[in-house]
Each structure stands twice: as C-alpha cells, then as structure tokens.
Amino acid sequence: MAKPNKTDIAPADLLAAYSYTPDHAKAAEAAMTGGGEGVGWVRPSKYTELTVRIVPPVDPSASPWHSRWRHFYKDDDGGWVSYTCPQKTSHGRCPDCVQAGRLRNSDVKAEKDLGFELSANHEIVVNVIVRGEEDQGVRPLVLSAPAGKAQGKTQYEKLTAAIGHKRFGGDPMNPRAGRDIVITKVGAGTVSGTSYTIQLDPQDSALAPTDEQALEWIHGQPDLAAQALEDAKAGVEYVSQMIQDSPLAQRAQVVSGPPARALPVGQPTAEDDMHEGWG
C-alpha cells in the first residue's frame, strides 16, 4: 500500500502511514553520503544514559537522517571552533581539507595524525524527543558517523545495527507502537576511553500520550534540511574569512598562488579531484 504524500489527513490515517523497517535502515546506511549548532541539540556524550524516540518526518516517505560534515579545532584561547565543510557539501573548496589531504599522505607520523585531526568529522542528525525532557520539545540528536570505510563503530552504525537486528530490532519511528532508543555511555574517564552501547527498548510504546501531541511534534519539528543549507552557507563564509584573516591564513597554509575560492556546485578543481573521498 502506497504511503500518502499529503499531510492534511486524519490523525489516525497519518499515524498509520508511518513505518520504519530494517530494510529502511539498510537503505539509509547504503545511501549515506556527505551532507551551526544551537542550544537544544542533543549529544550522547552529555548523558550517562540517554533514551530518545525518533520523530518521523512530516512526509512519511522521507528519510529522517540528515548528514553533515564539520571541522573542529581549538582556537588561540583554547575554545572549540567548528564549521561546516564547504567541500564535503559541494559548495566550494576547503583549505582545511587540502591541508588534511597533504598531511595524511606524509611519511611522518605526527603529520599524518594531524591530517586526520584536521579532516572533517561526519555526523548524522535526526529529530528526537528525549524521554524525561519532553517539555523541551523536538530536538536534533547528533550521532557520529563513518568518515570513510564503515567499521561498525560509530553511533549511527550501532543504531542502524540495533534497528535491523533479527531478534531485538524493531521500528523506532512508528508513532503508536514503536521502540525507544537507549544510548548508554561506558568507560568514560578510563584508559580504554569512552564508548557507547545502543539498543532498542524491547517494549513497543507510543511517541506521545495522545495522537494530537504526536502530530504537534511531527509538524513542529526543526527543518534539518534547511538548517543544513544554512550551515553550508555559513561554512563558505567562514572559509572566506579564514583566507582573508592573516592569523587563520597562516594556520592553514594550503595553496600556492591565488587563495582558494568558492566554486559553483559541480565544478571541482583538479586538486579537489585528486583528493576525492577525504575524511
């Protein structure tokens, strides 16, 4: 039965249209490619145990997952700075990507390590309700994602594996009879480092106490696609300022000759082509 494309239908019909299966999870992972963070964004690192429920998109046939690539580094004051990579989002050249590619090809371990550190981090964002914090409404959950070859270790990979598990998997998006997602932080502060276990609650439950509340959350959720576009534009502006501002330009000595410039989508430079697939 085809899913409806309209959103102005009865709550019962709309809720019945949502379904998320292991096949959807596999398709989302297979299709995953490169894609400002404000108050209210949710990161598992901030919790010892985090229980969330995915809020399905307004369009039942759309994917809830949104991909983004961001560079992180510490500024001169020791604070973290991040920006959306224009190269990974096909909005232009990125000095940090050029520098990272060169360093990662170095035979010197310290330089190679720095190259990986400069590379863009891949993240998957999905709208959720945090259990116990429902009064804060729908918020974006940020999950680590593969930046290269999939290894099954990132938060997103662990989540899709939990959804698709033959015995314990299930539907995390059905508003009436779906599964909550439980993310547990383990090993924090130990020599082995922090890791996360992700599993689905074994019991089906409703997204919200009432259909009306569920629909309010669904239709009032943040527009992550629009946010991604704004982030990409901000990334281009940031890179332009990086090139113009001499301290940052010295930090990222990446090009010989004219400074890097933003290019229209679909017009990569020869150097971009050479380093296709960084990060």
Who wins on pLDDT, 246 or 159?
159
* pLDDT over threshold 80, residue 131: yes
* pLDDT over threshold 60, residue 157: yes
pLDDT of residue 245: 58
- Dihedrals φ, ψ of 241, to 5°? -70, -35
Per-residue model confidence as pLDDT tens digits over 30-57: 433 333 444 478 999 899 999 999 999 9
d(CA 43, CA 41): 7
Give the model's confidence band at 243: pLDDT under 50 very low, under 70 low, under 90 confident, else very high.
Answer: low
* pLDDT over threshold 90, residue 129: yes
pLDDT of residue 191: 65
d(CA 75, CA 206): 44
Average pLDDT, the chain: 75
Residue 142's DSSP bridge partners are 125
* pLDDT over threshold 60, residue 220: yes
pLDDT of residue 265: 33
Please choose, from the candidates 66, 92, 79, the residue with its C-alpha nearest in 3D space to the C-alpha of residue 234.
92
Q: Quick one: average pLDDT of 152-169?
A: 92
Percent of the chain residues topping a pLDDT of 70: 70
pLDDT of residue 242: 67
d(CA 98, CA 22): 38
Q: Quick one: average pLDDT of 202-206?
A: 96
- Dihedrals φ, ψ of 112, to 5°? -65, -45
Per-residue model confidence as pLDDT tens digits over 95-104: 888 888 888 8
Q: What is the pTM of this model?
A: 0.72
First to last CA, the chain: 40
Structure tokens at 49: 């145990």
pLDDT of residue 244: 65
